[in-house]
Structure 1
């Protein structure tokens, strides 16, 4: 029996508590890009829901806050479009910022299992896939989701991110 990393255990506990059927799955190789994950899972790259943490600089000059952008692996995030939607300028977050707010490393960020809830936006392009795949807390872990469950558990707002 393989022991899951603590990040994966936290994610799986949420899935179980919410009575979701998906469980954390370990991949043979790290899936640090959508294409690497899709290749290992045998799914379309668009079904990979990248969990991207950005820092939002509020227009009023307040402190930077994290935002989780769940983006289809088939598209690039249009930072200007998302900035206009979320009320502040999106900036790329560095590894320390990501880990401080999620407890997880870049390349393995899950949509849940963070120390505190993170404001989330979800790419409408993901709705076309029956099964979505997200990070599971570390770069070797993935989790299957439905679009409605991803929205519900993250409290995400549907937007066009590309």
Structure 2
């Protein structure tokens, strides 16, 4: 159902043909990178966090090699980063873990993009299933995800951390 919802979303934008489906799993960064034959850092992973202020969730889309920095997250959002359980993810986003994406989410879901993505010409977010993706540039990702803002809440992706 979730993949179909995302495909309908992209159909309305004239981009349904760009949604890629795989015969293999793309549920993790490494599996998605293998399915797409790209470096793992170019996988735009969508991380789901509790939003205690309104009972919804915050989605942070980050590069595949980035990790959330708890201090940066807390300073930016004003709350401690607490990831959703798989049941909460499905309930709040309509997507199951492994296919969570920044597209076609229910009203109230806040989506932000981490600056770790900006170093790539294109990235590959999932499309609502554990075997799908779409290639987008950062401007397209921002627009199609209906992102609220670019944030700097991740670590370990800058060259000084990747020795």
Instruction: Spell out structure 1 runs of 4+ moving beyond 3 A.
Output: 19-22
Deviation at 1:54, TM superposition (A): 0.7
TM-score between the two structures when normalised by the length of structure 2: 0.85
Number of residues of Structure 1 aligned to a counterpart in Structure 2: 153
Q: Quick check: 2:114–2:152 contact (8 Å CA) kept in 1?
A: yes
Deviation at 1:95, TM superposition (A): 0.8
Deviation at 1:146, TM superposition (A): 1.4
**Partner SS, residue 134 of structure 2:** strand
What is the aligned partner in structure 1 of residue 152 from structure 2? 160
Within-5 A mapping of 1:134-153: 134-153=125-144
Structure 2: gaps (5+ residues): 155-163
- Mapped to 2, the partners of 1:70 and 1:29 lie a distance apart of 22
Within-5 A mapping of 1:62-77: 63-77=54-68
TM-score between the two structures when normalised by the length of structure 1: 0.85
Q: Larger deviation: 90-99 or 26-35? A: 26-35
Structure 1: gaps (5+ residues): 1-5
Q: CA RMSD in A?
A: 1.7
Which of residues 99, 103, 107 is equivalent to 1:112? 103
- Mapped to 1, the partners of 2:115 and 2:37 lie a distance apart of 22
Which has the larger strand fraction? 1
**Partner SS, residue 114 of structure 1:** coil
